[in-house]
Amino acid sequence: MSTDREPLSRERVVEAALAVIDRSGIQGCSMRAVAAELGVEAMSLYHHVPGGKKEMLDGVVAMVQTEFVESTELTGNWRTDMGNFSRAYRAVLSSHPNLVAMIAARPSVAYRSSTVLVGSLFNSMEDAGFPREDALRAVRVVSRWTIGFTLGEASALEDGVSVEEFDE
């Protein structure tokens, strides 16, 4: 056994799971496939993701949401921020097309993962006079629309439609 291998961590397991999903889809993402990606036995993953595949997939959603949050610029103007929010979310989702359906199926994980960004977006909306409840609804609508649009976009791309057709 080699001693120069990077030690396993939750982050490495989740990153490997995302790599497997990007390459093989959700169906191809098993504990065994992720272990093979890391060059370890599947049982060794459970120390880092004790909840098994569900916890690992929730970690993937959270990691992608964090990527999205970090790539979103907020200006304090709710209209601009809402557009930036949607464009950044679409860009990140588009870079992981095999993951979009899973994010749509795990909205509570996605919402929890993006709390920092959404909190700032809520603040700019409240500063503009929106009640907190209306701001929450607006962010959810835009988020779900973006997920749905990106899901449709990914499906159309599989059917041979040009990505430029979506940007017109």
* Whole-number pLDDT of residue 56: 96
The pLDDT confidence band at residue 26, using thresholds 50, 70 and 90, is very high
- Residues in Cβ contact with 32 at an 8 Å cutoff, skipping those fewer than 6 apart: 42
Nearest to 79 by CA among 135, 133, 134, 125: 125
* Helix segments in the chain, DSSP class H: 10-24, 31-38, 52-70, 78-95, 100-105, 107-113, 115-127, 132-158
Q: How do residues 146-168 score in pLDDT, each as one tens digit? A: 999 998 887 765 655 555 655 55
Q: How do residues 35-49 score in pLDDT, each as one tens digit? A: 999 999 999 999 999
51 pLDDT more than 90: yes
Q: How do residues 54-99 score in pLDDT, each as one tens digit? A: 999 999 998 988 888 777 888 989 999 999 989 999 999 999 999 9
* Whole-number pLDDT of residue 165: 57
